[in-house]
């Protein structure tokens, strides 16, 4: 009997539109775009899913990509629609998300976790009904000054700094290579390798 192919569903979090394109909050979008480009997948707007999507068979794995275009706070709407349509199990999903608690250039892979104050994750958890899904956390750091929550909200919606921009392509490539690893490896297996690497140590 032929082995059933595996499904991988990669969701990048961000806000749609030119204005937000190069903001820290959009690193999830940027990683998915880098991954799609690397593997020759064409992302296209699909209104019924409220998102930009791509689908391709790679390594005997059915790969699905989704960038919700609902704005961050409603990301869960697009995720739920897409999963329901393609009958994708929660175990196949990895969400790529910016994380202010990790310094810029740090990547962490997790099998599950709380929303940690992130509105995109909150929305997904609320729509799928559980926090038990993998996430690839891309560190964006925090503002240097003593910050209130207002400062952080401003910081994540700010464009990357000049210094960050000089390392961004490498950082996105590292994020995309983690997703590529997940095509052939389970998240739990990949964690040990992925979480040992940091951009700043290269």
Going residue by residue through the chain (202 aa), what tens digit of pLDDT does each one get? 344 468 999 999 999 999 999 999 999 999 999 999 999 999 999 999 999 999 999 878 999 999 999 999 999 999 999 999 999 999 999 999 999 999 999 999 999 988 888 999 999 999 999 999 999 999 999 887 655 555 888 899 999 999 999 999 999 999 999 999 999 888 988 998 888 655 443 3
Catalytic residues: 25
Confidence (pTM):
0.92
Q: Is residue 1 part of a domain?
A: no
Q: What is the pLDDT of residue 16?
A: 95
Q: Is residue 52 part of a domain?
A: yes
Q: What is the pLDDT of residue 1?
A: 34
148: domain CATH number is 3.40.50.1470
Q: Edge-to-edge strands of the sheet including 134-139? A: 44-46, 51-58, 61-68, 6-12, 93-99, 134-139, 107-110
Q: Is residue 140 part of a domain?
A: yes
Q: What is the pLDDT of residue 196?
A: 66
Phi-psi region for residue 186, left (φ > 0), alpha (ψ -120 to 50) or beta? Answer: beta
Q: What is the pLDDT of residue 134?
A: 96
Q: What is the pLDDT of residue 144?
A: 73
Q: Which domain range does residue 67 map to?
A: 6-201
| Residue pair 31/175 in contact by the 8 Å Cβ criterion | yes
Q: Is residue 193 part of a domain?
A: yes
Q: Is residue 94 part of a domain?
A: yes
Q: What is the pLDDT of residue 150?
A: 59
Domain tally, the chain: 1
Q: What is the pLDDT of residue 148?
A: 57
CB neighbour list of residue 200: distance below 8 Å, 6 or more residues apart:
103, 105, 106
């Amino acid at each position: 009997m032929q082995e059933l192919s595996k499904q991988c569903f990669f969701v990048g979090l961000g806000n749609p539109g030119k204005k937000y394109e190069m903001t820290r909050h959009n690193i999830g979008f940027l990683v998915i775009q880098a991954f799609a480009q690397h593997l020759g997948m064409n992302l296209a707007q699909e209104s019924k899913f409220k998102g930009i999507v791509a689908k391709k068979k790679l390594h005997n794995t059915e790969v699905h990509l989704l960038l919700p275009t609902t704005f961050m706070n409603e990301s869960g709407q697009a995720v739920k629609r897409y999963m329901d349509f393609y009958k994708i199990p929660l175990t196949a999903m990895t969400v790529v998300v910016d994380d202010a608690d990790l310094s810029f250039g740090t990547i962490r892979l997790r099998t599950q976790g709380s929303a940690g104050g992130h509105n995109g994750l909150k929305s997904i958890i609320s729509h799928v009904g559980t926090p038990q899904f993998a996430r690839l956390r891309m560190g964006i750091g925090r503002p240097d000054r003593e910050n209130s929550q207002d400062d952080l909200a401003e910081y994540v919606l700010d464009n990357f700094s000049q210094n960050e921009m000089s390392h961004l392509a490498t950082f996105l490539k590292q994020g995309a290579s983690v997703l590529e690893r997940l095509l052939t490896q389970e998240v739990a297996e990949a964690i040990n390798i992925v979480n040992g690497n940091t951009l700043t140590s290269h």
